[in-house]
Amino acid sequence: MKKALSVLLCVSLLFSLSSLAFAQAEKESPVLFVAGMNTCDLIYLDDGTKAFPPTSDRIKDSIVSAIIPLLVNGILMRSWDGAAKALCKAANGIFEPCKMKPNTTSLYNVGAELPDRYTTSAERYENGEEYFFTYDWRFSPLDTADILNDYINGILENTGCEKIRIYSHSMGSCVLLSYLEKYGHDKVEKLLFTDSAFQGMDFVGELFSGKVYVNPESLTNYVCDLVYGTDYAWVGGLMKFLKATYFTDGVCKLFNDVLVKNMIDTICVEMRDFVFMLPGIWSFCPAKDYAACRKFVFGDTPAEEYRILVEKNDYYINNVQSKIKDILDSAMADGVSVSILAAYDRQGIPIVSSSTNQSDGMVDVKHASIGATAAPLGKTLGDNYKQIVTACGHNHLSADLVIDASTCMYPEYTWFIRGVLHHIFGADIDAFCDWILNYDGQPTIFDNPQYPQFLTYDRDTEKVTILGTAS
């Protein structure tokens, strides 16, 4: 009898242990969203007052203080130098609180105001909510990655989970990639990168090498896009009229040939202490442009005072941005799933020649997708275009003939949405992200008839559907 009891005890103990083990294996990993740039305010840490985005009073005061010097220098004295300095004074006034020292620390005691949802508590997990990571966008993604590492460790500790599913947006992908480079992927189950600037933006590559160019067509598109569906929609009509009558072309030519040519050097010198001191923005410089930008800003041999900044920028470009394939291949080899989502067919900021690139209005689609071949905005690759890489035997050419995804780093794991703007998510895009993050294993563009490689977004209904033929 005793023997029978002990056997029974052993068996029941084994059962309870195995059910425990089973329960742990079934426990879903938490989901973390690494947000993009400027997703929390910057505050003065001493008293909690807002430092950035600037208050309307600060913007107004800065502009007002620049108007008279601008008019006097530009019109009366015909001094381009003086006019450029007046413009920069206004801009510097607006951005003053964001300035950083060349040693990559904040000039003033300014830092991120972390929102309530920035928490690692288990409660969020138990409520089925995502975790939310935001940060001070001025800093190097390499430094922010250290904070992200602590945040991930906190979540795993509090929830008792071993792995985490992470998706990122825009600059968040630079931070996430830096985290993977520094801390590895052992704690990661899934990765989804959306509208990622992890290969930079041509926009920054041009501006950081002193190239400014206003394209009249891009300017027209940009304004039309901005006022679409608002009370100012008539401005779009006016812009189209001005473009059709070559007025915009004339104004842009004047701006490019006279103003830009005469003012750009002064502007670069005057803005140096602000914009070029931000390692976060340097992470947006595409590797292909980096050497030229570095030389333009710091010369052949950067001065000692910029050593820390330049070292961080160099490290990010050489070991993170240029090593995406190594970082992601190694994660995938260990069973981490990797998915990429990139948007296109929106007009980018029209002050650089690359504003004709296909983008989501901010990040070039070729960079967000790691290597897609795209027609210029408003054009197609042509009716006779042939997909560049054919080895896999799939069709990777979009039905609108704008994107050839065969040249992507991961053509089977990369999706595209036509017509959606950089910062837009919405219910349908959330549902797509949920599908990716909940998929058992590595999702591909063939796994769900609802989500083939190419999708399209309707800005009126906010619906995402399968991309049909050219529209």
Which residues lie near Zn ion (CB under 5 A)?
A: 392, 394, 411
Nearer to Zn ion, 9 or 392 (CB): 392
C-alpha closest to that of 323 among 133, 154, 177: 177
What are the angstrom distances between the C-alpha of 240 and each of 168, 234, 235? 37, 10, 9
Three-point CA angle 217, 219, 224, nearest 5°: 95
- Cβ of residue 366: shortest distance to Zn ion, in angstroms? 18
- Give the largest Cα separation in the chain, rounded: 110
Nearer to Zn ion, 99 or 394 (CB): 394
Residue with tokens 């891009």: 218
- Cβ of residue 392: shortest distance to Zn ion, in angstroms? 3
- Tokens standing for 124? 């969020």
Nearer to Zn ion, 54 or 411 (CB): 411
DSSP H or E segment with residue 417: strand 414-418
Q: Where are the beta strands (DSSP E) in 335-382?
A: 337-344, 373-374
DSSP 431-444: HHHHHHHH-SS---
- Cβ of residue 36: shortest distance to Zn ion, in angstroms? 29
- Cβ of residue 388: shortest distance to Zn ion, in angstroms? 12
Nearer to Zn ion, 218 or 444 (CB): 444
Virtual torsion, Cα 458, 461, 464, 469, nearest 10 deg: -40
Taking the C-alpha atoms of residue 309 and residue 102, their distance in angstroms, rounded to an integer, is 6
Nearer to Zn ion, 14 or 392 (CB): 392
- Cβ of residue 155: shortest distance to Zn ion, in angstroms? 35
Nearer to Zn ion, 225 or 412 (CB): 412
- Cβ of residue 406: shortest distance to Zn ion, in angstroms? 7
State CA 347 to chain mean position distance. Answer: 16
What are the angstrom distances between the C-alpha of 288 and each of 14, 205, 284, 317, 327? 60, 8, 12, 10, 19
- Cβ of residue 405: shortest distance to Zn ion, in angstroms? 8
Nearer to Zn ion, 240 or 394 (CB): 394
| Preceding omega of 97 cis (within 30 degrees of 0) | no
- Cβ of residue 180: shortest distance to Zn ion, in angstroms? 24
Nearer to Zn ion, 285 or 405 (CB): 405
